[in-house]
């Protein structure tokens, strides 16, 4: 569906007219990301990150397919085959560094995309399905990234696989059979490496499929915007192409500048040096840490050190870690405020910038550090705040807050800010 | 034919609303369902350890060269196995502890074989998240209870391999094993 004033696709040549009758793919693209999709005229640069996430996924798929041509998923040679890519394959170092750092770029972009949604209330009706599909993509991304990290079969790969599959061992009764089943053995070995490779190759295409659903669900109500006020009339929107293809182009260029800087000047900055040591089941690295994008969740996992009733601490940690993400599925019903955008919510905004964001930064820092008593205590406080923010603070804010007056329409908001801007120099 | 199906359909409805067509639908769906499940089972079971992995599931260890106070690290099911020859002091230290103060109450007798109390054979896998604890090789720190110490999250095990401090929920696992002679142990 779209707004009634959306441009209609008009094939201009005999060939496109023929194609439009037999397989209207150009029409589909035109309506999805072309001039046929009307978008609010006031989107800021935070609305670039959906497209950027798509770009990052394509970078990962292309570089990944090439890497798979040179990689051997067999535990005795996997590490050596990665070194072979780095040293012998033509431009292999470039493709591998692009894939490694591409994963980090993907997470940077997706986290920004998620925080955009959190601040501007994009998860609220009528877009809750968009939010839920986005969370599914996020979970699939985490699984894909984890399995990809295991493939080079370095020390962090091996011990990461051991710790993460060990989480399933915390499930009462069926935990250990599940762990053995997942690994195809009693510890990570050739069977695990092979199946992780198979799934690591598969899941990006599943992600691609869910992205199609994500965009489909988005196009039913249409894109949200920084005011959170819904589109009311034609003057509130502009066609996606050329206006937002151009604006997204600026973002894509910035994305590739940051990406290239990482790949060419600091390719191992975000990685762990221990992963350049071949996997050794007999020796544990001094500090097992996941990649940076899992640090906040790892901190929550390690924050539970005491048994509660009959539930062992280890299981509590695992449950809390998964709950930290599953909780977000309930967000549309936890935050009941009728106002979407954080711009018009003074109290929400304070807790967002001075509560949630610092809390996640602290959790990230703790997750990447060695687990001393002090770090564990800080993680416990931050983890408690994380859950309290969503389960207690947001519902209370929604009730007690007096939002600022909303503009009557997107156009009114845009004109008001333009008028304000032109008045400023006169003063 | 049309009148025949109509007749049978009406006849069915008179018997409490169940038509013959309903029976065929249920039977067809059940048949396909059983077929799908029977194909799914091998597809799921292929993920379990294969025959060659299971074939390596038992191992023999010659313990004759391990002096009291020493320990060795060997491999059992691709995981570290600790074989430790306890000194009389270590045995005494383990026996002195009352089981009521333990997180996972077990005595040294529970964790060793009769007549071989000096041989503590455990997995070298921390029960918290699977790291290899320190304390088996010479010069490694043994933690404050003189047994093993896991460097990952600070779990300390005593001289009977029992969890005493830190996040691990259980004692170091004792695998199935037996002494085939005085100096040879068959594990698994």
When pLDDT is cut at 50, 70 and 90, the band that residue A88 belongs to is very high
For residue B105, the domain's CATH number is: 2.102.10.10
Judgement on whether residues B33 and B65 belong to the same structural domain of the protein: no
Q: Are B85 and B63 in contact (CB under 8 A)?
A: yes
CA distance A208 to chain B (A): 25
Higher per-residue confidence, B63 vs A135: A135
Q: Give the confidence band of A389 by pLDDT, cuts at 50, 70, 90.
A: very high
* Contact map slice: A 186-215 vs B, CB within 8 A: 186-187, 189, 191, 195
Q: Specify whether B40 is located in the same domain as B86.
A: no
Q: What is the pLDDT of residue B7?
A: 54
Mean pLDDT, range A275-280, rounded to an integer? 94
Torsion A43-A49-A54-A55 (CA) sign = positive
Residue A49 to residues A64, A106, A253: CA-CA distances in angstroms? 22, 10, 12
Structural domains of chain B, count: 2
Chain B residues in contact with A283 by the CB 8 A cut-off are 132
Per-residue pLDDT, A231: 94
Residues in A closer than 8 angstroms to B82, CB to CB, are none
Q: Which residue of A has its CA nearest to B168?
A: A314
- The residues on B that touch A, with CB distances below 8 Å, are 47-50, 53, 57, 73, 75, 77-80, 124, 128-132, 151-154, 167-169
pLDDT in tens, B53-94: 888 778 888 888 888 888 888 888 888 999 999 999 989 888
B93 to chain A, closest Cα gap in Å: 26
The mean per-residue pLDDT over the stretch A81-89 comes to 96
pLDDT at A125: 92
What token pair was written down for A418?
């333009």
- B35 and B87 fall within a common domain: no
Domain A29-280 superfamily per CATH: Cytochrome Bc1 Complex; Chain C (1.20.810.10)
Pair B59, B33 in one domain: no
- Token pair listed for A186: 């009693």
What would the pLDDT profile of B123-144 be if each residue is shown by its tens digit? Answer: 998 888 788 898 888 888 888 8
Q: Do B167 and A313 touch (CB under 8 A)?
A: yes
**CB-based contact A321:A300 (threshold 8 Å):** yes
Q: What angle do CA A278, B57, B133 make, to 5 degrees?
A: 50
Q: Indicate which residues of B carry an active-site annotation.
A: 153
Which residues from chain A sit within 8 angstroms of residue B154, using beta carbons? 371
**B contacts of A371 (beta carbons < 8 Å):** 152-154
Domain boundaries, chain A: 29-280, 289-414
| More reliable by pLDDT, A19 or A309 | A19
The ipTM value here is 0.76
Quote the CA–CA distance of B73 and B132 in Å, as a whole number: 10
List the single residue in A185, A187, A284 with the smallest CB-CB distance to B152. A284
pLDDT the model gives residue A343: 94
Return all residues near A304 (Cβ < 8 A) that are at least 6 apart. A313, A314, A316, A317, A320
List phi, psi (to 5°) of A197: -65, -45
**Contact B169/A312, CB-based, under 8 Å?**
yes
Q: What is the pLDDT of residue A161?
A: 92
Cβ separation B53–A191 shorter than 8 A: yes
Interface test with A, best of B149, B152, B168 (most A CBs within 10 A): B152
| Domain residue limits at B17 | 2-45
DSSP code of residue A311: B
- Same domain for B130 and B61: yes
Mean pLDDT for all residues in chain B: 85
Q: Tell me which chain A residues have a C-beta less than 8 angstroms from the C-beta of B77.
A: 185-187
Q: What is the pLDDT of residues A264-275, one digit of tens each?
A: 999 999 999 999
Please state, as a whole number, how many other Cβ atoms lie within 10 Å of the Cβ of residue A217: 18
Per-residue pLDDT at A425: 47
**Of B56, B82, B130, which to mutate for an interface test with A (greatest number of A Cβ within 10 Å)?**
B130
Spell out a b/e string for A156-195, using b for 16 or more CB atoms within 10 Å of the CB, else e.
Answer: bbbbbbbbbbbbbbbeeeebeeebbbbbbbbbbbbbbbeb
Query: For A180, which of B48, B130, B154 is closest by C-beta distance?
Result: B48
Q: What mean pLDDT, rounded, does chain A reach? A: 93
Report the catalytic residues of A: 219, 223, 247-248, 291
Which pLDDT belongs to residue A387?
97
Q: Which of A223, A49, A246 is nearest to A137 (CA)?
A: A49
**pLDDT tens figures, A318-376:** 899 999 999 999 999 999 999 999 999 999 999 999 999 999 999 999 999 887 889 98
| A175 in B contact zone (CB under 8 Å) | no
Chain A residues with beta carbon closer than 8 angstroms to that of B176: none
Per-residue pLDDT, A427: 39
Grade residue A420 by pLDDT with cuts at 50, 70 and 90. low
The values of phi and psi at residue A368, to 5°, are -90, -5
Q: What integer pLDDT is reported at residue B101 of this predicted model?
A: 82
The structure tokens listed for B143 are 């933690």
Choose the most confident range, by mean pLDDT, from A163-177, A223-237, A406-420, B80-94.
A223-237
In angstroms, the Cα distances linking B150 to A287, A328, B89, B164, B166 are 11, 34, 22, 12, 9
Phi, psi of B59 (to 5 degrees): -150, 150
Residues A156-165: what's their mean pLDDT? 91
A287 touches chain B (CB under 8 A): yes
**Residue recorded with tokens 């005595």:** B107
Mutate to test the interface with A, among B74, B78, B168, B176 (most CBs of A within 10 A): B78
Residue A280 in this model has a pLDDT that exceeds 70: yes
Q: Is the pLDDT of residue A412 over 80?
A: yes
The pLDDT value recorded for residue B15 is 62
A182 and B47 in contact by Cβ < 8 A?
yes
Please name the helix (run of DSSP H) or strand (run of DSSP E) that holds residue A40, with its range, or none.
Answer: strand A38-40
Using the beta-carbon criterion (under 8 Å), do A181 and B53 form an inter-chain contact?
Answer: no
Taking the CA of residue A188 and the nearest CA in chain B, the distance in Å comes to 8
> Are the C-beta atoms of A82 and A71 separated by less than 8 Å?
yes
Is the per-residue pLDDT at B118 higher than 70? yes
| Mean pLDDT of the region A385-390 | 97
Shortest alpha-carbon distance between residue A84 and chain B (Å): 26
Contacts of A196 in chain B (CB under 8 A): none
In the prediction, which pLDDT does A373 show?
Answer: 82
């Amino acid at each position: 569906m779209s707004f009634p004033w959306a441009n209609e696709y008009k094939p201009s040549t005999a060939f496109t007219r023929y194609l439009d009758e037999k397989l209207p793919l150009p029409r589909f693209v035109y309506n999805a990301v072309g001039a046929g999709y009307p978008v609010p005229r006031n989107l800021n640069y935070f609305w670039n990150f959906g497209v950027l996430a798509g770009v990052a996924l394509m970078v990962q798929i292309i570089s990944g397919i090439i890497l798979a041509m040179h990689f051997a998923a067999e535990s005795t040679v996997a590490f050596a085959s990665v070194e072979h890519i780095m040293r012998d394959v033509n431009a292999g170092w470039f493709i591998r560094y692009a894939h490694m750092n591409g994963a980090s770029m993907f997470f940077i972009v997706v986290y920004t995309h998620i925080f955009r949604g959190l601040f501007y209330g994009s998860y609220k009706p009528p877009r809750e399905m968009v939010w839920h599909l986005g969370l599914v993509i996020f979970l699939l991304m985490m699984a894909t990234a984890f399995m990809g990290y295991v493939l080079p079969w370095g020390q962090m790969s091996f011990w990461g696989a051991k710790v993460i599959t060990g989480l399933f061992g915390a499930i009462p009764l069926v935990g250990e059979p599940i762990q053995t089943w997942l690994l195809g053995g009693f510890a990570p070995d050739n069977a695990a490496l092979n199946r992780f490779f198979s799934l690591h190759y598969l899941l990006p295409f599943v992600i691609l499929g869910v992205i199609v659903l994500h965009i489909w669900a988005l196009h039913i109500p249409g894109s949200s915007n920084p005011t959170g006020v819904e589109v009311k009339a034609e003057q509130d929107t502009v066609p996606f192409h050329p206006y937002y293809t151009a604006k997204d182009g600026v973002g894509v260029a910035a994305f590739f500048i940051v990406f290239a800087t990482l790949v060419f000047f600091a390719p191992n900055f975000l990685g762990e040096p221990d992963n350049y040591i071949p996997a050794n089941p007999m020796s544990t690295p001094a500090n097992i840490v996941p990649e940076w994008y899992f640090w906040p969740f790892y901190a929550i996992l390690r924050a539970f050190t005491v048994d509660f009733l009959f539930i062992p601490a280890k299981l509590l940690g695992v449950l809390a870690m998964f709950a930290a993400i599953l909780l977000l599925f309930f967000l549309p019903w936890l935050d009941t405020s009728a106002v979407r955008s954080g711009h018009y919510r003074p109290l929400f905004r304070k807790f967002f910038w001075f509560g949630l964001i610092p809390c996640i930064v602290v959790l990230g820092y703790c997750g990447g550090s060695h687990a001393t008593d002090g770090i564990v205590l800080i993680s416990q406080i931050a983890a408690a705040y994380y859950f309290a923010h969503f389960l207690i603070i947001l519902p209370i804010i929604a009730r007690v807050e007096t939002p600022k007056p909303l503009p009557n329409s997107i156009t009114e908001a845009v004109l008001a800010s333009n008028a304000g801007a032109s008045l400023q120099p006169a003063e | 034919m049309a009148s025949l199906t109509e007749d049978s359909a009406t006849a069915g409805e008179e018997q409490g609303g169940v038509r013959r067509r309903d029976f065929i639908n249920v039977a067809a769906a059940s048949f396909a369902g059983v077929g799908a499940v029977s194909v799914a089972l091998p597809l799921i079971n292929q993920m379990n350890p294969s025959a060659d992995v299971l074939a390596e599931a038992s191992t023999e260890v010659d313990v004759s060269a391990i002096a009291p106070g020493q320990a060795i690290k060997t491999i059992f099911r691709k995981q570290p196995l600790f074989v430790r020859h306890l000194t009389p002091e270590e045995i005494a230290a383990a026996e002195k502890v009352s089981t009521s103060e333990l997180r996972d109450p077990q005595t040294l007798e529970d964790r060793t074989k009769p007549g071989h109390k000096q041989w503590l054979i455990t997995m070298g896998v921390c029960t918290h998240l699977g790291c290899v604890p320190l304390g088996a090789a010479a010069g490694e720190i043994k933690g404050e209870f003189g047994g093993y110490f896991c460097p990952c999250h600070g779990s300390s095990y005593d001289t009977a391999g029992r969890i005493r401090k830190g996040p691990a929920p259980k004692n170091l696992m004792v695998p199935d094993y037996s002494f085939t002679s005085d100096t040879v142990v068959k594990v698994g």
